[in-house]
Amino acid sequence: MKGRAVDVSAELAVAVAAAEAAGTLLRREPAWTSAKGTAGDVTTDLDLRSEELIVSRVRAAYPGDRIVAEESGAAGADGDRVWFVDPLDGTNNLAIGLPVYAVGIAFCVAARPVAGVVHDPVSGGTWSAVRGGGAHGPGLPAEA
């Protein structure tokens, strides 16, 4: 079963659309620091708004799924279907104006990752992968 392709095309489409919409938000809106962690990490209003956008889209498409998001934690029923959301990976970079940050979404079934998306708002590039189906995106061969 390891590496066998699974049909998660609908879930992948939701993840790609949510990541790209969040990327548009991150690229177009100014960031306002809302908190500072003990390790020097910052959280901005854009972390929260990006997460809200992604979670609302996933929740609308899959209301019974569990979502574990970086800022708000876990929500939804316990079950085999779990989404992991990093609404803004590289918050410190964005906060200081360094254009190196991304949006990440992973979808797992029965504790196994089956699909994932990384979107770079600055370049507009989106990379995705499906268990057993390879990885796709700018700079990758057709069958990575």
Compute the distance between CA of residue 62 and CA of residue 127 in angstroms, rounded to an integer.
22
Query: Is the domain 9-136 a CATH 3.30.450.20 member?
Result: no
Phi, psi for 58 (deg, rounded to 5): -65, -45
88 among the known binding-site residues?
Answer: yes
70 among the known binding-site residues?
Answer: yes
86 among the known binding-site residues?
Answer: yes
Residue range 60-117, pLDDT digits in tens: 999 999 999 988 878 877 889 999 999 999 988 988 889 999 999 999 999 999 999 9
Compute the distance between CA of residue 27 and CA of residue 35 in angstroms, rounded to an integer.
20
Name the pTM for this structure.
0.88
Instruction: Give the domain ranges of the chain.
Output: 9-136
143 among the known binding-site residues?
Answer: no
